[in-house]
Amino acid sequence: MTAGPATPLPPAYGELFARHAEIGALEECSAILSWDQSVTMPPAGAAARGEQFAALSAATHRLAADPAIGTLLDRAEADEVSSLPAEHAANLMLMRRLHTRRVALPERLVADLARASTACETTWRGARANSDFAAILPALSELVGLTREAAARLADATGLAPYDALMDGFQPGMRTDRIAPLFDELERFLPQLIAARLAAQARATPPLQPRGPFPIAVQRQLARRLAEVVGVDFNAARLDESAHPFSGGTPDDVRITVRYREDDFAQALLAVVHESGHALYQRNLPPLLRRQPAGDAAGMAVHESQSLTVEMQACRGDGFLGWLAPVLADAFGADPAFDAANLVKLWREVRRGFIRVEADELTYPLHVILRFRLETALIAGELEPAGLPRAWNAGFAALFGTPPPDDARGCLQDIHWYTGSFGYFPAYTLGAIAAAQLFQAATVSDPAIAAGLARGDFRPLEAWNRTHVHAHGAMLDLDGVIRAATGRGLEIAPFRQHLLCRYGET
């Protein structure tokens, strides 16, 4: 359900509000088309879908970059902002920010990017399956060239460095000079902690492995049940399957996807609780600002903080695993591997694996650090797409000790670059840092949260997140959300403390 402003708005701002509602509706159309591309579209539809995205992106851009919006912004900022309620004043500020970014890009470039990203993603699916980087190189080269052009134009308009201008589109306010020191600090202490944990695991009795196969039909039922336990309302959501799990759609029509394997139920179940965290955030954004800049998420790092609060902080905690153990036994049959203590050992195993989405909490940030360094080099022109496999393998070996055996487990494994999402990857680890800080504050302020998780009740946690994170929409940036919830800006200490408490025992 979409709600408009409760009271009449001043004329210039009111016109802006109406125009952005129309822009937002078109962006929602694009979101549903994107879901369809990943879930139901047949391969032969790729070319037509590229043209559809190009036309829709161009039409949306035409509305958003209309010179009349600039005139209305000038009037509203000069004559009306002082009379606006705080949430509408924040919305006006964000309208200006978005307008600056939109007018920086010509319609031709917006359409070309939409067309090229669709083509590249389609080619990537086959290239990854065949571990064939050569097959994707022409499409990736075109997409990187267009992205560099967009980055340069956005940099000129915003005064930011090109990569920062791209990253600002995913997480407003985050800059390389803020992220690089955080990642350097992680790289200083994580390898030693990983090595200590691996040594401790080698001395200990290994966890029991659950005995499969695990029927896909049972996994589907269990995935839906866990999503409902976390808080997903399936009157306003769907759960489907795709090659790469994601949560998308709109606040009133959330689309969650996972992928299933008969030999590994954990992959789908952990994915569904992760994506359910995203879905709750999307669903609980401020309804009175629906389809407005301020009614959107505060950025992808904040989005990731919500998915990781659910998956890593809550669902891998001792309390929830104690509740989950008999649920798994009921679904798949009695198995000593479903003992709660064994699940704790099993789902906290640390391994130096090749695949980011399968990585544990300790090694995951190193995967992100590698991608951050490579994509900054790609956008700066210091690395060309043709050199990506070699640079990836060298960087991975430096961080993990050995290069991947093939490109499918190397530079082809993630979808992001092949859809043009350069600047996204830092959000994953920033979100993990934020999740630890938020969860620490939540559980200290409300003891009912931990007690609820131990009986499979997420309502106290969702209520806290809804009040302290979701309700702000984009009115606060990442630091603002964290400061409002915890009294401090984003800091790495709670994340380090969390990792030491969970993995530091010897």
Residue 150: inside a domain: yes
Contact (Cβ atoms closer than 8 angstroms) between residue 347 and residue 317: no
Q: How far is CA 32 from CA 94, 124, 253, in A?
A: 24, 21, 9
Per-residue model confidence (pLDDT) at position 244: 79
Angle between helices 318-332 and 216-230 (to 10 degrees): 150
Phi, psi of 249 (to 5 degrees): 85, -140
280 pLDDT exceeds 60? yes
2 pLDDT exceeds 60? no
CA distance 438 to 314: 12
Peptide bond into 213 cis (omega under 30): yes
What is the total count of domains within the chain?
1
CA distance 28 to 34: 10
CA distance 331 to 420: 40
Give residue-wise pLDDT tens across range 191-241: 999 999 999 999 999 999 999 899 999 999 999 999 999 999 999 999 999
Q: What percent of the chain has pLDDT over 90?
A: 95
Residue 37: inside a domain: yes
324: tokens are 């989950």
| 3-class DSSP assignment, residue 156 | helix
Residue 128: inside a domain: yes
Residue ranges of alpha helices (H) inside 204-260 are: 216-230
Q: Is the dihedral of CA 469, 475, 479, 484 positive or negative?
A: negative
Give residue-wise pLDDT tens across range 263-277: 999 999 999 999 999
Cα torsion 467, 471, 477, 482 to 10°: value is 10
pLDDT band at 357 (very low <50, low <70, confident <90, very high): confident
Catalytic residue among 275, 304, 311, 375: 275
Its domain, for residue 72, covers: 11-169
Q: What is the DSSP string of 401-449?
A: SS--SSGGGTTTS-SGGGGT-TT-THHHHHHHHHHHHHHHHHHHH-THH
Q: How far is CA 301 from CA 68, 195, 431, in A?
A: 32, 28, 5
275 in catalytic set: yes
1 pLDDT exceeds 50? no
Q: Count other Cβ atoms within 10 Å, centred on residue 330.
A: 11
Q: What is the DSSP string of 360-385?
A: -TTTHHHHHHHHHHHHHHHHHTSS-G
Per-residue model confidence (pLDDT) at position 317: 95
| 3-class DSSP assignment, residue 72 | helix
Angle at 487 between CA 435 and CA 288, to 5 degrees: 75
Q: Which residue has the tokens 């008969």?
A: 262
Give residue-wise pLDDT tens across range 455-477: 999 999 999 999 999 999 999 99
209: tokens are 């492995």
305 pLDDT exceeds 90? yes
Per-residue model confidence (pLDDT) at position 52: 93
CA distance 249 to 28: 7
pLDDT band at 360 (very low <50, low <70, confident <90, very high): very high
- Residues 307-332, mean pLDDT to the nearest whole number: 96
Nearest C-alpha neighbor of 126 from the set 230, 243, 13, 291: 243
Residue 112: inside a domain: yes
Angle at 238 between CA 211 and CA 276, to 5 degrees: 65
Per-residue model confidence (pLDDT) at position 248: 93
CA distance 348 to 362: 9
Residue 76: inside a domain: yes
- Residues 37-64, mean pLDDT to the nearest whole number: 92
- pLDDT, averaged across the chain: 95
Residue 88: inside a domain: yes
How buried is 206 (Cβ within 10 angstroms: 0-12 exposed, 13-18 middle, 19+ buried)?
exposed
Q: What is the DSSP string of 274-300?
A: HHHHHHHHHHTS-GGGTTSGGGS-S-H
Nearest C-alpha neighbor of 407 from the set 137, 117, 39, 121: 137
| Edge-to-edge strand list for the sheet holding 253-258 | 237-241, 253-258, 246-250
- Residues 391-398, mean pLDDT to the nearest whole number: 98
| 3-class DSSP assignment, residue 246 | strand
Q: Is the dihedral of CA 53, 59, 63, 64 positive or negative?
A: positive
pLDDT band at 505 (very low <50, low <70, confident <90, very high): low
464: tokens are 């806290």
pLDDT band at 243 (very low <50, low <70, confident <90, very high): confident
Find all residues with CB under 8 Å of 472, minimum gap 6, and list them. 286, 298, 480, 481, 484
Facing residues of 454 across strands?
A: none
Per-residue model confidence (pLDDT) at position 5: 63
Residue 30: inside a domain: yes
| 3-class DSSP assignment, residue 263 | coil
What secondary structure letter does DSSP report for 257? E
Find all residues with CB under 8 Å of 128, minimum gap 6, and list them. 408, 412, 413
Q: What is the largest CA-CA distance in the chain?
A: 71
Give residue-wise pLDDT tens across range 71-98: 999 999 999 999 999 999 999 999 999 9
Residue 80: inside a domain: yes
Residue ranges of alpha helices (H) inside 40-85 are: 46-64, 67-75
Q: What is the DSSP string of 89-146?
A: HHHHHHHHHHHHHHHTS-HHHHHHHHHHHHHHHHHHHHHHHTT-HHHHHHHHHHHHHH
Give residue-wise pLDDT tens across range 283-301: 999 999 999 999 999 999 9
483 pLDDT exceeds 90? yes
Give residue-wise pLDDT tens across range 131-158: 999 999 999 999 999 999 999 999 999 9
Facing residues of 248 across strands?
A: 255
